Structure 1
Amino acid sequence: MSTPTGFMEYKRELPDDRDPVARIRDWKEFHRMFSEEQLRTQGARCMDCGTPYCHTGMELAGNASGCPINNLIPEWNNLVYRGLWKEAYERLAKTNNFPEFTGRVCPAPCEGSCTVGLIGDPVTIKTIEQAIIDKAFEEGWVVPQPPKARTGKQVAVVGSGPAGLATAAQLNKAGHTVTVYERADRVGGLLMYGIPTMKLEKEIVQRRVDLLAEEGVKFVVNTEIGKDITSKELLERFDAVVLCGGSTKARPIGNVEGHELKGIHQAMDYLNSTIKSYLDNGLQEGTYISAKGKNVIVIGGGDTGTDCVATALRHGCASVTQFGTHAKAPLERDNLNNPWPEFPNVYTLDYAHEEAKALFGEDPRAFSVLTKKFVGDENGNVKELHTVQIRRYVDEQGRKIYEEIPGTEKIWPADLVLVAVGFEGPERTIIDQMGLETDRRSNVKAPYGKYTTNVNKVFAAGDMRRGQSLIVWAINEGREAAREVDKYLMGSTLLP
């Protein structure tokens, strides 16, 4: 522990982010960091709570509670408080392959289950985590650590997102020769394409990829398994195959009248076109879907929709509104229906909402809204969107029911509509070629903790197995899948 009374002596503080109006003029990260002294003070708030729920990694009420990779949070908080930064990094690296990613984009379920948060404000765990890894890179403590010997076993990892990279990192540590296949032109999956640069600058992703390459991991880009290389060839060439292709089949809105109009795009197509253009040519060649001067509607209240809001603001949109079918969350935790240590469902302004409010004067979100139809102009371009307010409740069978409220119909001007209503599961090419069994949600069927499929030597992990989820769960599954693959190849394993 740090100091026994730190949580009573010091208030929770977060570093001020860059000014919202200023930061929408560029694509750089919006976070600032505390000084070491401020970080030590925040570390002092971590108490000797006996049972640290912050690193339990359970699922409660459909959300993560505590850290899914079981970060040893009280230990590195204490080390930061004592000024032992290198030791803090070493402790952090024991459980997390990529703290520079989770420290930036994880929603911090650890903080939601922090014991101090029971009666006050939780410890600023995520900020301290990012500070530890950033300092480790600055000080040169993060260096390539290739295995001392190779086993002679060849493993293919399909997909280079967080699950794929975690799998590759761990299997490489065990001495196996790992080849990661990525169909995009850059390695990183969701980390590279999907998360905007203002949340995660791509130099940070590439830095880790380069480090893994120096350790011996082989990366093959512009190669889609099932098309450029058949699944049969892959199985013949490797001793084990781990599928980490993600949940990338976007959920359509084909039941909404007018969905075929021009100007209606899937959110990931919109985000990816901007990120790729930014990386390729600094957005100079216009090879992306632009929101400049347009009235933008984002359908979907999750993180992807929020990223669309932030991107549209940087494009220079005329207006932006984000629809969610969920009701506005309460200002404080509902201790009856959302008790600690569940992840707190409370009203907050995410970075994009803060930016839109600073620019346009109000939160861009519209809650409990259902899209009824799109209307186009004479050229087939979307020009407006019709909605109605709804009540949402769960029936006796556990199904979500949406009840329209008469008299709440509204028409919104819309030149660009971005659909961010989630994903249906993984794409089918590899699944069909390999004859893989799937679950009722169309994900690859592989038991959690084992990751084995119905096909010999084929494993599955991450969103491709569990469905759309958090980066920290992808890292969890990648690490665990690597352990099971190592056990399959060698008969036993020393991987954690």
Structure 2
Amino acid sequence: MGKPTGFIDYPREKARERDLTTRLKDWGEYQLPQSEEKLKTQGARCMDCGTPFCHSGIELNGNASGCPLYNLIPEWNHLVYQGKWKDALDRLLKTNNFPEFTGRVCPAPCEGACVAAIPDDAVAIKSIEKEIIDRGFAEGWMTPKPPMNRTGKKIAIVGSGPAGLAAADQLNKAGHSVTVFERDDRIGGLLMYGIPNMKLEKDLVERRVKLLEDEGVVFVTNTEIGKDVTREELREEHDAVILCTGAQKHRDLPIEGRKLGGIHYAMDYLRKNTKSLLDSKLEDKQYVSAEGKNVIVIGGGDTGADCVATALRHGCKSVHQFGKHPQLTADRMIDNPWPEFPRVFTLDYAYEEAQAEHGEDPRQYSIMTKKFVGDENGHVKELHTVTIEKHIDKKGNVFMKELPGTEQVWPVELVLIAIGFTGPEEGVLEHFEVEQDNRKRAKAEFEDYKTNVDGVFAAGDVRRGQSLIVWAINEGRGVARETDRYLMNKTVMP
């Protein structure tokens, strides 16, 4: 694959990005297209490794290793190297319904499992994937392809995130009539409202939704199941129902001062900002502004980083992001061997922007928030923290120990809680009387997806818990296959 000595001859090159100070003035995508010559060179780095771990998605030590979509990565890398872009697109679309999304927001477990990454840097798989699909749209190759025949079977999908959209795409291609129900005013789930515009511009989501519509998928927005439409109505009008409602019940931080004003969940902050941006370019003021404020984000993950980037664009006075874990090392530790997902220190787009704007990386490590203190108007004005250290007792139990003398008080007017989700929100699963596990997830086996209710399936985060976009698409494709089998007594879906 690629050039036999390409991984030796050519270094990995980071994808091009817009100037840091310029992009902070708008909400446009921060990434830039790459030249065809650069992409060919990067494709040439895909070595003939014999056993490519990049496209064999498994879970190791609790994280994805390789691509859960089983993307034919060496094949389309080689085709890009040869300049055969249309063929590369055909290979890419065999396994991935939405590479324009994964090529932008997936953390790329494929690159962590790349054989070239053992002695050197991984092949730039994610960047090449993004450029293949972008070229496909630019060249006019991505045209509606509605099915030639319809089966007469009707399927309702609840939730329009990546799992729901993938299921809809697959089932529609099989000739079934698919209707997707979404409680928000726009289709896309977290693709639309959970990921900020500078990482995934919303016209890309709308472009894909329009393509699905042109192929025959029906979308119904502003519709809440159990309120606007009942389970009885869905079951009566459809031959099967698929629940892809996600896992968006926020994990809270129940400490002193939590009820003060100015403390918000990160996802609420991001959602309101994107909706206001799309509705009025922020002119309606229906969002939480960080302008002129000291901002603290609690939680060290990607959602927290997106909050940092959003606050910077609002014009915050300062911004810090708190994480309970120590700073990662630059290289893999001995307990994080290849091909596990690499737990190493990286400088995400938001942190580069913070350094450019405020002169420092906003992340604070091994830190625990103890309490919030408010002013006379009931609004948060201080956040109290202490440094913590991980300890392991004789039985192997891990616990965090506070270090005396490390207490600190931070001035703050806006706090964003980004410590993840505990599981699905109450409502839809209960309404359908679907059995749930101890984390309130739908009980449905992986690669089967059947719930205890006949004809009702569940997939994506509502079944597996908060996870990656590639796992959501994987499950959307899988539940489509099993729903097709249920309806037709056989299936030819992958």
**TM-score w.r.t. structure 1 length?**
0.98
The answer as to 2:37 corresponding to 1:10 is no
Q: How does 1:249-264 map to 2 (within 5 A)?
A: 249-254=249-254, 256-264=255-263
Per the alignment, residue 447 of structure 2 pairs with 449
Per the alignment, residue 475 of structure 1 pairs with 473
3-state DSSP of counterpart to 2:435: coil
Per the alignment, residue 349 of structure 2 pairs with 351
Q: Matches of 1:232 and 1:371 in 2, distance apart?
A: 46
1:52 corresponds to which letter in structure 2?
A: P
2:366 corresponds to which letter in structure 1?
A: S
Q: Matches of 1:393 and 1:38 in 2, distance apart?
A: 47
Distance 1:398 1:232, change over 3 A: farther
Per the alignment, residue 414 of structure 1 pairs with 412
1:127 corresponds to which letter in structure 2?
A: S
The answer as to 2:287 corresponding to 1:321 is no
Q: Matches of 2:129 and 2:81 in 1, distance apart?
A: 13
Per the alignment, residue 53 of structure 1 pairs with 53
3-state DSSP of counterpart to 1:241: strand
Q: How does 1:261-300 map to 2 (within 5 A)?
A: 261-300=260-299
Q: Matches of 1:488 and 1:7 in 2, distance apart?
A: 46
3-state DSSP of counterpart to 2:370: strand
Per the alignment, residue 228 of structure 2 pairs with 228
Per the alignment, residue 401 of structure 1 pairs with 399
3-state DSSP of counterpart to 1:80: helix
Per the alignment, residue 374 of structure 1 pairs with 372
3-state DSSP of counterpart to 1:122: coil
The answer as to 2:461 corresponding to 1:463 is yes
Distance 1:96 1:277, change over 3 A: same
2:321 corresponds to which letter in structure 1?
A: Q
TM superposition shift of 1:395? 5.6
Distance 1:19 1:398, change over 3 A: farther
Q: Matches of 2:218 and 2:397 in 1, distance apart?
A: 45
3-state DSSP of counterpart to 2:321: strand
Q: Deviations over 1:179-205 (max 9, x none)?
A: 000000000000000100000000000
TM superposition shift of 1:129? 0.3
The answer as to 2:126 corresponding to 1:130 is no
Q: Matches of 1:116 and 1:25 in 2, distance apart?
A: 37
1:41 corresponds to which letter in structure 2?
A: T
Q: Deviations over 1:144-203 (max 9, x none)?
A: 111111111110000000000000000001111000000000000000001000000000
Q: Matches of 1:240 and 1:257 in 2, distance apart?
A: 47
Distance 1:62 1:393, change over 3 A: farther
TM superposition shift of 1:398? 6.8
Distance 1:180 1:398, change over 3 A: farther
Q: Matches of 1:494 and 1:399 in 2, distance apart?
A: 47
Q: How does 1:417-436 map to 2 (within 5 A)?
A: 417-436=415-434
Distance 1:234 1:277, change over 3 A: same
Per the alignment, residue 197 of structure 1 pairs with 197
Per the alignment, residue 179 of structure 1 pairs with 179
The answer for unaligned runs of 5 or more in structure 2 is none
Q: Matches of 1:202 and 1:238 in 2, distance apart?
A: 30
TM superposition shift of 1:405? 1.0
TM superposition shift of 1:434? 1.7
TM superposition shift of 1:125? 0.4
The answer for unaligned runs of 5 or more in structure 1 is none
3-state DSSP of counterpart to 2:329: coil
Q: Matches of 1:211 and 1:418 in 2, distance apart?
A: 36
Q: Matches of 1:233 and 1:388 in 2, distance apart?
A: 53
Q: Matches of 1:272 and 1:14 in 2, distance apart?
A: 29
3-state DSSP of counterpart to 1:192: helix
The answer as to 2:7 corresponding to 1:30 is no
3-state DSSP of counterpart to 1:337: coil
3-state DSSP of counterpart to 1:392: strand
**TM-score w.r.t. structure 2 length?**
0.99
The answer as to 2:32 corresponding to 1:64 is no
Q: Matches of 2:173 and 2:463 in 1, distance apart?
A: 23
Per the alignment, residue 385 of structure 1 pairs with 383
Q: Deviations over 1:306-338 (max 9, x none)?
A: 10000000000000000011110001111x200
2:185 corresponds to which letter in structure 1?
A: D
3-state DSSP of counterpart to 2:74: helix
Per the alignment, residue 140 of structure 2 pairs with 140
% identical aligned pairs: 64
> Following superposition, which runs of at least 4 residues in structure 1 exceed 6 angstroms of deviation?
none
Q: Matches of 1:472 and 1:493 in 2, distance apart?
A: 22
3-state DSSP of counterpart to 1:388: strand
TM superposition shift of 1:436? 1.2
Per the alignment, residue 495 of structure 1 pairs with 493
Per the alignment, residue 149 of structure 1 pairs with 149
Q: Matches of 2:146 and 2:393 in 1, distance apart?
A: 54
1:218 corresponds to which letter in structure 2?
A: V
Q: Deviations over 1:24-78 (max 9, x none)?
A: 1100000012200110011000011111000011111111100010000000000
